[in-house]
């Protein structure tokens, strides 16, 4: 048996046991692994003494844009910074972006995610104008296969309302995992929603749509994107196969309207993904006072029993100039801006996010997927605030990232 702290270069090694580790319930114990799952008895692999470490379920990023990530430095000065301006800035970049560029930035971002404790990522990807419309789709599908066994990557097509249906069909045939789009940006959102769901069903794909990414609510409930999505999901028999991303308008509805809408969402079996860092950046910019927060009604969503995942959305691109691809950045914002408890915030970036993505539970109970992250055994609040950079990350019982920190302060 060797100590975690004395071991060098754990990345790439299979683990059979962590001994004396702080468990999620706060007690000390052993976590035994057999291959890709937590088990009652250890299998082959390193048997490590983990005193001084805390084990948590690995995090899941339920909504990324890897094709856009790390492009913020290319933005000209003086461009706008609301949602419409960000879309225009990205479209202006597209002619200068090729496959090699997408792959380099996407891989660099995935490395950041994994190093920070994220072992599953759903990434949206645009179709491109010009002669190579599938460049982003093909690159990310290739990356998914290249990284299989080290990180779980789901590729979700982000189809625009201007994209011909035959092009969307062709993209679906190239091997995407999820069908997505932005019906709220279309001239006829209900018609675009119907088109997206028609294509998804034709290809037997789950659905993840950008919905209600705005703060205006001066419309009947029936005109909210998420209400239309809930009704069609029920009518089509798609319970538990549809995700509503953003859903910012839910945070602006008065309780009587909100609760009625959430009851419909719950009946339809939708999952919701909140993306605090990006929507706090994009929304509310036209307000001269009492600016709204770009968050859905988090407590009401949880009270309604609706699966809730949380992520970062964009990382250093036209839609968000900041972001460090770190789940504990998201947990900090869920607590400070969303007023969730530490346990609720942690659940949203781990089990909640995996539930929304249709992934099996990760954790420390026998039978759980052995996707885990070890952090220094400090107060959980410090961990979720992002103060601890040292992390050991496992995907399927194998260490995929090992970050240790040396710090010297002359005080």
47-77, pLDDT tens digit by residue? 999 999 999 999 999 999 999 999 999 887 7
Q: What stretch of H or E contains 399?
A: strand 398-403
Window from 70-84, 271-285, 354-368 with minimum mean pLDDT:
70-84
Residue 387 is predicted with a pLDDT of 84
HSE toward the beta carbon, residue 164, CA cutoff 13 A: 5
CA gap 256, 298 in Å, rounded: 15
N- to C-terminal Cα distance for the chain?
36
* Domain annotation for the chain: domains and CATH numbers: 2-57+363-403 (2.30.40.10), 59-356 (3.20.20.140)
Q: How far is CA 134 from the centre of its chain?
A: 23
Residue 272 is predicted with a pLDDT of 99
Strand-strand pairing, 308-310 and 46-49: unpaired
Residue 7 is predicted with a pLDDT of 55
Phi, psi (rounded to 5 degrees) for 33: -125, 140
Strand-strand pairing, 242-246 and 207-211: parallel
CA gap 114, 400 in Å, rounded: 7
- What is residue 14's three-state secondary structure? strand
276-289, pLDDT tens digit by residue? 999 999 999 988 99
Helix axes 255-268, 225-236, angle to 10 degrees: 30
- What is residue 117's three-state secondary structure? coil
Residue 81 is predicted with a pLDDT of 78
Q: What is the DSSP letter of 345?
A: H
User: pLDDT category, 347, cuts 50, 70, 90?
Assistant: very high
pTM: 0.96
- Give buried/exposed letters for 277-299 (b at 16+ CB in 10 A, else e): bbbbbbbbeeeeeeebbbbbbbe
What are 11's two structure tokens? 């990345």
**Rounded percentage of the chain residues whose pLDDT exceeds 90:** 87
Distances (CA, A) of 336 to 226, 309, 352: 26, 17, 19
CA dihedral 181, 183, 184, 189 (to 10 degrees): 180
Q: What stretch of H or E contains 3?
A: strand 2-3
CA gap 83, 314 in Å, rounded: 12
């Amino acid at each position: 048996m060797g100590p975690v702290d004395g071991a060098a270069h754990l990345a790439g090694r299979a683990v059979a046991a962590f001994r004396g580790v702080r468990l999620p319930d706060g007690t000390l114990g052993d976590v035994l692994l057999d291959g890709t799952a937590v088990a009652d008895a250890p299998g082959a692999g390193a048997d490590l003494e983990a005193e001084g470490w805390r084990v948590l379920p690995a995090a899941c990023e339920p909504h990324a844009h890897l094709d856009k990530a790390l492009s913020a430095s290319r933005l000209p000065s003086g461009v706008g910074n609301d949602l419409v301006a960000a879309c225009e800035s990205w479209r202006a970049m597209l002619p200068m972006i090729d496959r090699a560029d997408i792959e380099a930035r996407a891989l660099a971002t995935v490395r950041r995610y994994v190093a920070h404790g994220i072992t599953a990522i759903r990434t949206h990807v645009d179709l491109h104008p010009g002669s190579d419309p599938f460049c982003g789709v093909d690159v990310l599908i290739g990356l998914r296969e290249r990284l299989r066994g080290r990180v779980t990557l789901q590729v979700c097509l982000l189809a625009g309302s201007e994209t011909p249906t035959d092009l969307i069909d062709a993209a679906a045939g190239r091997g995407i995992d999820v069908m997505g789009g932005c019906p709220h940006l279309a001239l006829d959102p209900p018609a675009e929603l119907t088109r997206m769901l028609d294509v998804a069903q034709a290809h037997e794909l789950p659905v993840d749509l950008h919905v209600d990414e705005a703060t205006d609510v001066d419309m009947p409930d029936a005109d909210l994107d998420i209400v239309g999505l809930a009704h069609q999901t029920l009518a089509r028999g798609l319970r538990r196969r549809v995700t509503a991303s953003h859903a910012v308008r839910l945070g602006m509805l008065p309780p009587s309207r909100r609760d009625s809408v959430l009851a419909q969402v719950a009946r339809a079996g939708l999952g919701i993904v909140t993306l605090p860092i990006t929507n706090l950046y994009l929304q509310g910019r036209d307000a001269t006072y009492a600016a709204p927060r770009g968050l859905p009604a988090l407590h009401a969503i949880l009270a309604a029993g609706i699966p809730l995942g949380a992520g970062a959305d964009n990382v250093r691109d036209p839609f968000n100039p900041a972001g460090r691809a770190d789940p504990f950045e998201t947990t900090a914002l869920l607590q400070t801006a969303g007023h969730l408890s530490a346990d609720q915030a942690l659940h949203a970036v781990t089990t909640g996010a995996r539930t929304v993505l249709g992934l099996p539970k990760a954790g420390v109970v026998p039978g759980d997927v052995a996707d885990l992250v070890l952090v220094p055994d400090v107060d959980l609040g410090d961990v979720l605030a992002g103060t601890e950079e040292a992390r050991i990350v496992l995907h399927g019982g194998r260490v995929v990232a090992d970050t240790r920190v040396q710090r010297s302060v002359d005080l």
